[in-house]
Structure 1
């Protein structure tokens, strides 16, 4: 048995056990960093730290507090909060109490929050603040099983008229009760941890979905302990890493990062405020970070915009450097595949060195200057964006997984990463491609099923453990997976031709620095069209240079000069497509797509049906009087 096999096959039944091992091994090592506001706004905020020993003390107090509230093993405790250190501590507290965490995005509206609380039969809700408390209070009559709401922000833990006695309490109070319970019964939490089974429910994550009610994905303890050990075995993260964690922890991608950290023992700096990402990168100076593709697209567009604002010469240098970066990345990756080294031809290396001094070094500094690798997941990263960052020294390791597979089923392996693929399966995960191209997965990371939905479970999970992902892909001879599209998103035109919309959309986003989102349409139509949303900061910067300064965004979008600008990029994209893939017509949307209007999921995935429904009139307009094309 290899060392990797032993690490995975001998894994503990739960991440709670891995936490005990971590605390025993490195109690005084730094575990978490988190921002602390200055009192009364006096001066800038600072960052505080928790050692593994200190973190465990709080986790055990929370777990004991839940036991004191009467929470039983496998009962659900819901958690509705933005990404912050308390999210991690309370989630671990729930696991150590033997209960299961129901994750809820803080952006979820009151009605859907109530549905999740009801469907999951959650006994306790841990709410970040007054806004999250208000959602539960609004629907309290429909939630007779919700016994308590624990509020993280102590000042917001205020009972209201009509609340049952003891229904609202603060997280600090829960920890005080837990500490008292542990003083009287020191082994209370350890007994719960020792009683955990690998098949016991640990987490219930509701998929956002594109239509209808979300489905609860049941993930037992073993999925997380497997993920922790499998990611550790890949050496993708190291004990001396500093991770910057800002992703939504209600999402499976964020959640898996907390598990792998405990197994590896590195430091994680936690702050989910997206408007602080750029500043936090300079302060934290991470060596490792995970993000969704939209973040890298925005960074690329921002760099291109600054170069354009600097004048023609500066923009010309940037465009040259961008092409050099892509050429360098492709050459070094191709050579590594053949020879195991990243050497490139002398002339290209010389150009790259010049471009590095002029452009790339500044980009790396914007990421903190120490970034060893980034992991990108949740949706596809346009290859041209990936090659650009690779050539600039920001190594993006694309990965792949679903909520139903505990997030990480594939990841690119370190130096051997290949842009445009999602890498190889994690140790212990099996993959095969069905006759119709669908990716099937089997392994310890696969869910137990959908909560209270056996018929839906049977549709995707075979009796022998193979899970149908709904994604189309292809495997290289040496095991690298490339995702080509969602099975249900493939377009078949009225002429019988298949089009992968995400491929066309990805090409457009990589080529056009002004685009934020694009939705290609064409199912049962005789040609393809696109709805295009533009990136507001980039567009408004361009507007200043074209006598449109001071005009509102919607007016700039509607201006004929803007339409002409985007038309040029559409034509350039079409040059690289098959005739039936080309975008014959497009419409610019009056605003960007967003989560609030239900057009993007909280992890920024496109809700294609929702967008098409909202802008059906624009789609029909593009097909009025259409003839065969």
Structure 2
């Protein structure tokens, strides 16, 4: 048996056990960093730290506080908060109490929050602030199982005469109660952790469905224990790393990042404020971070826009450097695949050195200057954008997984990563491609099933443990997976040709620096069309230089000048596509797509049915008088 197999097969039953072991091994080591806004609200945040021992003191107090509230093993404790250090401490507290965390995005409305709380039969809700508490109060009559709401930040919370006595308390109150319980019964939490079994429910994550009610994915403790061991076994993270964690922890991608950290013991800097990422990176100076493709697209568009604003000469330099970056990345990756050495010809190396001094070094500095790798997941990254960053020294390791597979089933292996693929399976995970191209997964990361929905479970989970992913993909002879598209999203035109919309959309994002979101449509139609939303800061910057200064976004995108600009990029895209893939018509949307309007999931995935329904008029308009082309 290999060392990797031994590591994974001898895993403990829970991350709670891993946490206790980590605290015992490195009690004084730095565990978490978190920002504290200045008292005046002006100036930079102050970053503070928690050692593993300090984190444990709070985690055990939260666990004991929940036990004191009567929470039993496997009972659900809901957590509705943005990403912050208290989210991690609370989640660990829930697990150490033997209970199960139900995650809720803070952006979820009162109706859907109520559904999740009721369907999960959550006993306690840990709410971030007064706004999250208000949602629970609004639907209190529909939540007979909800015995308490614990508020992390109680500022602004007002008493409500309708609240049952003791229904609302602060996180500080809960920790104080827990500390009192531990003073009387020091072994209370340890006993709960020791009683946890591998198959005991640890997390209930509700998928953000595009239609109908979300489904609760049941993930037992063993899923996270496996993920902790398997991610470390890939060599992706080490004890010396500093992770910058901003992803939503209600999402399985964010959640899995906390497990591997506990196993290896490195530092994690936690701040979920997306508008602070650019400011935080030079301060935190991470060695690795995870993100979704939209973040890399925005950085790329921002760099291109800044170069364009600097004048024609600067923009030409950027375009040249971007070409060098892509060529360098493709050649070096190809050589590594063939020879094991990421070498490039002398001439290309010389050009890359110049481009690095002019462009790439500044990009790396913006990321903090120490970034070893980024992990990208949740959706496909356009290969040309991946190659650009690879050539610039920002190595983006794409990975792949589902909520139903505990997030991480594949990841690109370090130096041997291949842009355009999601890498190889994690140790212990099996994969096969079905006859229709669907990716099938099996292993210790697969869910138990959907909560209280055995029929839905049977639709995706075979009796022998194989999970239907719903994604179409191809495996290389040496085990690298390339995702083609979502099975349900494949377009078949009325001419019988299949089109993978995500592939076309990704290519457009690589050629057009102004795009924010694009949806390619064409199922059962004569030809493909597209709805395009532009990135507001980038297009407004262009507008200011092209006679449209001061105009609002909606007016800028309606301008014939803007339509002509984007048409040029559509024609450039079409030049590299098969005839049946080409975009014959497009419409610019009057605003960008967003989570608030329900067009994107909280992890920024496009909800195609929602967008197609909302903009049906624009789509139909593009097919008026359609003929075969």
**Match for residue 115 of structure 2?**
115
* Cα distance between partner residues in 1 of 2:19 and 2:98: 14
Instruction: Report if aligned partners of 2:293, 2:379 keep a CA contact under 8 Å in 1.
Output: yes
* Cα distance between partner residues in 2 of 1:262 and 1:326: 36
* Matching of residue 29 in structure 1 with residue 29 in structure 2: yes
**Match for residue 262 of structure 1?**
262
**Match for residue 150 of structure 2?**
150
1:83-126 CA-to-partner distances (Å, cap 9, x unmatched) read 00000000000000000000000000000000000000000000
**Match for residue 62 of structure 1?**
62
How many residue pairs match? The answer is: 629
* Cα distance between partner residues in 1 of 2:289 and 2:323: 25
Instruction: Report if aligned partners of 1:154, 1:172 keep a CA contact under 8 Å in 2.
Output: no
* Cα distance between partner residues in 2 of 1:411 and 1:185: 44
* Cα distance between partner residues in 2 of 1:177 and 1:367: 42
1:512-564 CA-to-partner distances (Å, cap 9, x unmatched) read 00010000000000100000000001100000111100111100000001000
**Match for residue 532 of structure 2?**
532
- In the TM superposition, 1:427-576 aligns within 5 A as 427-576=427-576
Where 1:39 maps in the other structure, the secondary structure is coil
* Cα distance between partner residues in 1 of 2:356 and 2:100: 49
**Match for residue 141 of structure 1?**
141
* Cα distance between partner residues in 2 of 1:8 and 1:387: 33
**Match for residue 584 of structure 1?**
584
Where 1:369 maps in the other structure, the secondary structure is coil
Please state how far the C-alpha of 1:383 moved relative to its aligned partner: 0.1
Instruction: Report if aligned partners of 1:37, 1:46 keep a CA contact under 8 Å in 2.
Output: yes
**Match for residue 233 of structure 1?**
233
CA RMSD for the aligned pairs?
A: 0.6
**Match for residue 49 of structure 1?**
49
Where 1:348 maps in the other structure, the secondary structure is helix
Instruction: Report if aligned partners of 2:130, 2:154 keep a CA contact under 8 Å in 1.
Output: no
* Cα distance between partner residues in 2 of 1:12 and 1:287: 28
Where 2:218 maps in the other structure, the secondary structure is strand
**Match for residue 386 of structure 1?**
386
**Match for residue 74 of structure 1?**
74
Q: Which runs of 5+ in 2 are unaligned?
A: none
* Cα distance between partner residues in 2 of 1:485 and 1:155: 45
Which runs of structure 1 show a deviation greater than 4 angstroms over 4 or more consecutive aligned residues?
A: none
**Match for residue 319 of structure 2?**
319
- In the TM superposition, 1:86-97 aligns within 5 A as 86-97=86-97
Instruction: Report if aligned partners of 1:157, 1:168 keep a CA contact under 8 Å in 2.
Output: no
**Match for residue 399 of structure 1?**
399
* Cα distance between partner residues in 2 of 1:268 and 1:32: 5
* Cα distance between partner residues in 2 of 1:315 and 1:502: 28
Where 2:126 maps in the other structure, the secondary structure is strand
* Cα distance between partner residues in 1 of 2:237 and 2:511: 32
Please state how far the C-alpha of 1:44 moved relative to its aligned partner: 3.1
Where 1:41 maps in the other structure, the secondary structure is coil
* Cα distance between partner residues in 1 of 2:566 and 2:45: 42
Q: Between 86-95 and 146-155, report the one with greater CA deviation.
A: 146-155
* Cα distance between partner residues in 2 of 1:344 and 1:313: 27
Instruction: Report if aligned partners of 1:158, 1:168 keep a CA contact under 8 Å in 2.
Output: no
1:359-411 CA-to-partner distances (Å, cap 9, x unmatched) read 00000000000000000000000000000000000000000000000000000
**Match for residue 341 of structure 1?**
341
Please state how far the C-alpha of 1:471 moved relative to its aligned partner: 0.1
* Cα distance between partner residues in 1 of 2:583 and 2:212: 30
Please state how far the C-alpha of 1:156 moved relative to its aligned partner: 4.1
Where 1:122 maps in the other structure, the secondary structure is coil
* Cα distance between partner residues in 2 of 1:41 and 1:373: 33
* Matching of residue 369 in structure 1 with residue 355 in structure 2: no
Distance verdict in 2 for CA 1:455–1:515, change over 3 Å: same
Question: Scaled by the length of structure 2, what TM-score is found?
Answer: 1.00
